[in-house]
Every structure is written in C-alpha cells, then in structure tokens.
Structure 1
Amino acid sequence: MADDASNVDFVIARVFDAPRELVFRTMTETAHLARWWGPKGCQIEVAKHALKPGGVFHYCMRFAPGIEMWGKFVYHEISPERLVWVNGFADPQGNSIPNPMSPVWPLGVLNTTVLTEQGGKTTMTMSSVPIGASELEREAFLAGHPSMRDGFCGTYDQYALYLASLKAG
C-alpha cells in the first residue's frame, strides 16, 4: 500500500509504563481517545469511531474559541500487537481534504504502530509514510518531520500522563 518512499519514513518510539492490553485498549476505545489524542491544549470531539478494518475515527480538534481542525483515521489492521491506519485532514462531514496549513502535504499518511510488552511495560514504535504522494508532497512530509516529532511527542506525553492517571485511579 505504501509508496516506495522509505527515504521519507517518519519513526518514533516510546516506552509506556503499562501492559500492552491497557495500551491497546486506551489507544483504540472511543472514550479513551477523546481524553488524550491530539496536540497539547486541544479538546477532542469524536464525531464517529468504528474500530474495525475500513472503520473511521473522525474527530475535531478545538484549540481556542473558533479555532478547530478536523481529522480522520481509516483503520486497516487492528490487533493488540499492531495497528495500521491512514490518517489525514477532513471536513466536518468526514471527507478527506488537503492540510489547511500546507497545501502540498500528502492527502494520506499510512501509520503502522507496533506494540511489544516486556516486564509490564509497552514499547510503541510508530512509522509513518505518505501514500499516493507526489515528489513535492514527499518533500513536504520529509521537511515536516521536526514538527511531526514535536506534535507526536506532545501527544504521547499527554498519553503517558493519561495512562498514569488510570493506574493511580
């Protein structure tokens, strides 16, 4: 499904202090996603969530009054060991749209998340690659890696705090 674009793959890894079963559940269940997904400081509204191959997670990120951005996942594979989905920007009806901040951003990005457990901790390795992208879109994706790293690190920092709150509660 991915283009031969290994030179633009984006990869991050994190270790979470929780068993894989809990990590998988909190990464895939609607109520949990609404509590931690997205950049720091935004509120998530889940418009639709169907956890199945071909199912959609359609959501709105609200940053401040009047500032919102819509996104969408389309799930391809779902198991406690591996999640595969395509994500991109969307309109409020769930239609895929270009990135409102970068018109040369790829319309879709294939994400593969692998979860491995050892000693009660879960390592998450996520790789992302643009799909169906032009050379200009692949270049934009590559140039966006530092911003993506910051965004995903912030998101997964929130996620780690969310997991800790579940364990403490």
Structure 2
Amino acid sequence: MNDTQETTSTAPKFVISRTFKAPLDRVWKAWTEPEQMAQWWGPKGFSADVKTLDLRPGGMFHYRMLSPQGQEMWGRMVFREIVPEERLVFINSFSDPECGLTRHPMAPEWPLQMHTTISFTEADGKTTVTVEWLPYEATESECETFDEGRDSMQAGWTGTFEKLESHLDNA
C-alpha cells in the first residue's frame, strides 16, 4: 500500500474541490510559500501565523490560527509526499505551540490525526484544487465523529477556499 492510501478509517473520505482562475504555478506557490500561506490559511474569519514550513517529506508546516473572538489554535502538517504542482500528502492535526499533538479544542472526539491529500490540476489557465480527508489511526468513535461532521467540514473548507480565492485574486 502506498502512502497516499494508508489509513485506518472506517468512514468514507471527505472530498471537496474548487476551481480557481489562476495558473497552476501561482496556486502551488500559495500552498507552499510561508508568506502566502499566512495570508489565507484557515477557516473564514481566522488569521494565521506560519511558524515553520519545511516543504519536504518528513518536514512540517506548523501554524497558529486566531479565531475572530481571539481564541488561539495551533496546527501542524507532517508532509509524507510532495509532487510539485501535482500533489501534497500530509498528516494533519491540532497541536500545541511546541508541535505536540493535541485534541481539537472544540471537539474532543474529533480524530487526533487526519490523512490529507491535496491535488492540483490545471486546464485552460485555471487550477482545480481537490482536498481528500480521512481520519488516520482513528478509533471507531473518532471515525463516527468525522462522518457526522461533514457539514462542518464542507463549511470550513468552503471558507478556506474563499480566502484562497481572494488571495489569488489580489496577488
């Protein structure tokens, strides 16, 4: 089994796509350059600070997000596969400021880790980004929470894509 398929989830994967009016190289850079990630990463209304972005297998993206109410949340991605301008595969989780794994601050039954694949395809000068999300090394209860959270995931990723779209339009 290759890295992009490894998971222990019993829930169907969550998939969402958005097509952006921007060439592939610009969209790829928005996902892989720390200065750009800080401009758009996270749910709508949240701001982000990039602490580390080490773009290599085994490297980490460590970030802090602030909610509109000022609540601080940390997250991390540990990269497993990077195919330039094609795919990013990573294990995503909430974290503390020192990069330790933590539970979702508002949903303690949320899976501790998520297997994430971000795919990029270009056609006619536009780029489609597809997110595939699955619980990783999750309990049955965590998989159920994931499956029940699809509306929330849809809303969160839609807001994140809206922020990315605005960033790309203004870049």
| TM-score, normalising length: structure 2 | 0.92
**Structure 1: which 5+ residue stretches go unaligned?**
none
Distance 2:128 2:22 in 1: 9
Give the match for residue 84 of structure 1.
89
Give the match for residue 161 of structure 2.
156
Kept after mapping to 1: 8 A contact 2:115/2:136: yes
Question: Segments of 4+ in structure 1 off by > 4 A?
Answer: none
1:74 and 2:56 aligned: no
Deviates more, 1:29-38 or 1:76-85: 76-85
Query: What is the identity percentage for the equivalent residue pairs of Structure 1 and Structure 2?
Result: 42
Deviation at 1:147, TM superposition (A): 0.4
Give the match for residue 109 of structure 2.
104
1:34 and 2:38 aligned: yes
Deviation at 1:8, TM superposition (A): 2.5
Aligned to 1:51, which of 43, 55, 62? 55
Kept after mapping to 1: 8 A contact 2:62/2:99: yes
Give the match for residue 136 of structure 1.
141
1:22 and 2:26 aligned: yes
Give the match for residue 147 of structure 1.
152
Deviation at 1:49, TM superposition (A): 1.4
Kept after mapping to 1: 8 A contact 2:9/2:138: no
Kept after mapping to 2: 8 A contact 1:8/1:141: no
Kept after mapping to 2: 8 A contact 1:20/1:117: yes
Distance 1:124 1:163 in 2: 13
Instruction: Evaluate the alpha carbon distance shift between residue 76 and residue 105 of structure 1 in structure 2; reply closer, same or farther with a 3 A threshold.
Output: same
Distance 2:145 2:50 in 1: 28
Distance 1:63 1:128 in 2: 22
1:9 and 2:18 aligned: no
Q: How many residues align?
A: 165
Which AA in structure 2 matches 1:19? P
Which AA in structure 2 matches 1:156? F
Taking only aligned residues, the RMSD between alpha carbons, in angstroms, comes to 1.2
Instruction: Evaluate the alpha carbon distance shift between residue 65 and residue 151 of structure 1 in structure 2; reply closer, same or farther with a 3 A threshold.
Output: closer
Kept after mapping to 1: 8 A contact 2:30/2:36: yes
Which AA in structure 1 matches 2:93? G
Which AA in structure 1 matches 2:29? R
**Structure 2: which 5+ residue stretches go unaligned?**
1-5
Deviation at 1:64, TM superposition (A): 4.4
